[in-house]
Amino acid sequence: MAPASASGEASGSFHSWWKANGSHVYRSHGKRRSERERESEQVPGSSKQPAFSDQPPYHLKAFNLRISFPQEYPFKPPMIKFTTKIYHPNVDENGQICLPIISNENWKPCTKTCQVLEALNVLVNRPNIREPLRMDLADLLTQNPELFRKNAEEFTLRFGVDRPS
């Protein structure tokens, strides 16, 4: 995922993807969905989206996400899960993500889906080793960053999905 700029906008391919697909993901107050979203949903209130980074070690492939909006959205946060395996200290083996912006204690109803995706973008590119879900990967990133990057790149090539064209 491309890094967010100082203005809060994502740059590069993530920004391009968001402009093309953002309205598909965002549901205003949990009531309205675009026609494109209704047609493509496999589960009501959720959406599958690709996420991709322009920075090593995740830049060679994409990762699928499932974004689920609870009935109480925007008063309860969306749930985001990687459905593609990713070698990352803030994502567990089941795809659950430690992303503070969507925790119950930090969630604000005025938070937009694009802000959540931008926070995820930053987290993928800059892991938060203070709040890991996988301590072994956080330790490796801290103690041997080159080996972590090598392992993450190999894992990305093995489990990642082809990037959208």
Q: Is pLDDT above 70 for 154?
A: yes
* Segment 78-102 mean pLDDT: 97
Q: Residue 31 pLDDT > 50, yes or no?
A: no
Domains of the chain: 12-159 (3.10.110.10)
Q: Are 95 and 147 in contact (CB under 8 A)?
A: no
Question: From CA 165, how far away is CA 150, in angstroms rounded?
Answer: 25
pLDDT bin (cut points 50, 70, 90) of residue 165 is: confident
Is 162 strand, coil or helix? Answer: coil
Q: Are 2 and 15 in contact (CB under 8 A)?
A: yes
Residues acting as catalytic residues: 98
Residue 123 has a pLDDT of 96
Provide, rounded to the nearest whole percent, the portion of the chain with pLDDT above 90.
Answer: 64
Nearest Cα residue to 17 out of 56, 57, 65:
65
At 93-148, the pLDDT tens digits run: 999 999 999 999 999 999 999 999 999 999 999 999 999 999 999 999 999 999 99
- The C-alpha atoms of residue 137 and residue 25 are separated, in whole angstroms, by 30
Q: What is the mean pLDDT of the chain?
A: 79
Q: Which of 150, 161, 135, 159 lies closest to 61 in space, CA to CA? A: 161
Separation CA 90–CA 116 (nearest Å)? 15
| Residue range 35-61: mean pLDDT, rounded | 63
Q: What's the whole-model pTM score?
A: 0.71
**% residues pLDDT > 70 (the chain):** 68
* Token pair belonging to 31: 């009531």
pLDDT category of residue 150 using cuts at 50, 70 and 90:
very high
What pLDDT is attached to residue 54? 79
pLDDT value for 77: 97
For the stretch 10-26, pLDDT in tens is 334 444 444 455 444 44
